[in-house]
Amino acid sequence: MKHRVVQYIDYYGDKMGGGAIFAKWLNIYFNYVKKIPALILSTSYPNKYSRYNEDLESILLVGKNVKPFVKHFVSSPRGKRKTAKAFAWFGTNIYLIMKKYDILQIHGSISSTKLPFINRLYFCPICIALHLRNTYKKYIKKVVLTLHAYWTLVNLVNNTNNIKDIALAEKMLFDNVDDIIAVELYHYNVLREQNMSARIHYIPSASVPKKLVYNPYVIPNIEIDEEILNKIRNKIKICLPSRLEPERNIIDFVRQYIKAINTYDYVRRNTILLIAGSGSLENLIRHISEKISNIIYLGALSHIEVLSMIRDHCDIVVNTAKSPGTGRITIEAFTFKKPVLRRMSIDINPIVDGVNGIVYSDDDIIDKLVDISLMRYDLHKLGEHGQETVKKRFLFEDIAEKYMNIYNL
């Protein structure tokens, strides 16, 4: 029998996160490079932006314009996804889909943390996907769960005091999965302590295609207003591309940067902060940039536009996340030999280690900004070490091969 892979993911649409990008790349790689039939099954609406620069990104993987194979089930383009209409389509069509596949790859997330626990348990994508495995076990021979965020498990288990719910969650998650892939080493070690029957693997999902590392100018130039170009010329450009949400700690960093430029004249004269992204803090960031001349908000850029910005208009890239994790933006910055200014986290083996970037805490961030403004760091040398890190550990093709080994393909 020719193996076929179906990937289940909660959200594959506009403004995709790292898990969805990785799922798309796997789909393209399997279908067009390895000739393994693969399908993404998603609960998002296929709106006009959901192509997400697939043409350009597919060129990085296969050298031509191709599209991933995606099936969506939704009720409306306004995000009301899990309704009777959506599930009616799902129930009618899923049998025709699932009987063609024998490997189920789940990309784990929780659809909503605002629902009561038991509802979240039954409506979360992981549980729907495991239902597919149990219902179509005649066809599904192997189930692999990739936890793109360990907080998937934390939210699922810790938001209830009901021990029966916890036991049910663990049974649904672990008893029906053959392999679990942690995308961070910290999460991998936590999962290994769970004493579960599933095989545990550490395989990062934050990665880049080889072609982008060895031919960075395959990405087209981003168009930036001439007035902005004149303003950032001869400045040390500190770039902060991120989802503009409170949990990203963007505002904390911006406040510290404002404090630094108000306290030290050479920080104000020598540096400029470029912010790109969208989210609930977008209006606040825009307002701050209108008031503070050293801060420029570039708007909501696409993934390809962010890559172009990093390559052409950044000297150092900021990752403000408190949670442990590699972060796609860290790997993409390293790809273009750009060092990363990374907030200190509880990673036991952090990617940003002082050789390829700079680690900061709340207590010393202003000191680090001062050192950057006075060019006390060799940013070019740090960036070169960063690219070597990518070549050794974060090339997408190498990571995809590890998935194929787990699938026994």
| 356 and 225 belong to one structural domain | yes
Q: CA–CA separation, 350 vs 4, rounded Å?
A: 35
| 157 and 220 belong to one structural domain | no
- Provide the residue type at 389 as one letter: T
The encoded tokens of residue 272 equal 């400029």
| 184 and 319 belong to one structural domain | no
Q: CA–CA separation, 392 vs 385, rounded Å?
A: 11
Q: Is 93 helix (H, G, I), strand (E, B) or coil?
A: helix
* pLDDT given at position 73: 64
**Full-model pTM:** 0.83
Helix (H) or strand (E) holding 271: strand 271-276
| 244 and 322 belong to one structural domain | yes
| 246 and 296 belong to one structural domain | yes
| 177 and 253 belong to one structural domain | no
Q: Tally Cβ neighbours within 10 Å of residue 70.
A: 20
What is the number of domains present in the chain? 2
Q: Is 77 helix (H, G, I), strand (E, B) or coil?
A: coil
**Which distant-in-sequence residues (6+ apart) come within 8 Å of 386 by Cβ?**
333, 334, 337, 338, 339, 340, 356, 357
* pLDDT given at position 240: 96
Q: What is the CATH number of the domain that holds 312?
A: 3.40.50.2000
Q: Is 151 helix (H, G, I), strand (E, B) or coil?
A: helix
**Which distant-in-sequence residues (6+ apart) come within 8 Å of 34 by Cβ?**
404, 409
| 103 and 43 belong to one structural domain | yes
| 15 and 44 belong to one structural domain | yes
| 248 and 189 belong to one structural domain | no
Relative to beta strand 38-42, strand 5-9 is parallel
What are φ and ψ of residue 33, in 5° steps? Answer: -100, -50
Q: For residue 2, count CB atoms less than 10 angstroms from its CB and return exposed for 0-12, middle for 13-18, buried for 19 or more.
A: exposed
Q: Give the structural domain span for 119.
A: 5-207+395-407
pLDDT mean by block of 10 residues, the chain; 409 residues: 70 63 88 90 56 62 82 54 53 71 76 40 56 78 78 45 52 74 81 78 90 90 88 95 87 96 96 93 95 94 88 95 76 95 73 87 94 95 95 94 91
DSSP string, 207-251: -B-HHHHH-GGGSPPPP--HHHHHHHTTSEEEEEE----GGGTHH
Question: Which residues face 208 on adjacent strands?
Answer: 395
| 21 and 145 belong to one structural domain | yes
| 189 and 43 belong to one structural domain | yes
**Which distant-in-sequence residues (6+ apart) come within 8 Å of 261 by Cβ?**
267, 268, 271, 292, 294
Angle at Cα 262 formed by Cα 299 and Cα 289, nearest 5°?
15
| 201 and 229 belong to one structural domain | no
DSSP state of 395: B
* pLDDT given at position 154: 44
* pLDDT given at position 332: 92
* H-type alpha helices, 159-208: 163-174, 185-192
Q: CA–CA separation, 217 vs 56, rounded Å?
A: 12
Residue corresponding to tokens 């130039």: 221
Q: Is the dihedral of CA 181, 68, 130, 166 positive or negative?
A: positive
* pLDDT given at position 5: 84
Q: For residue 277, count CB atoms less than 10 angstroms from its CB and return exposed for 0-12, middle for 13-18, buried for 19 or more.
A: buried
Q: CA–CA separation, 55 vs 60, rounded Å?
A: 9
Q: CA–CA separation, 234 vs 239, rounded Å?
A: 15
Looking from the CA of 24 toward its CB, the CA atoms found within 13 Å total 26
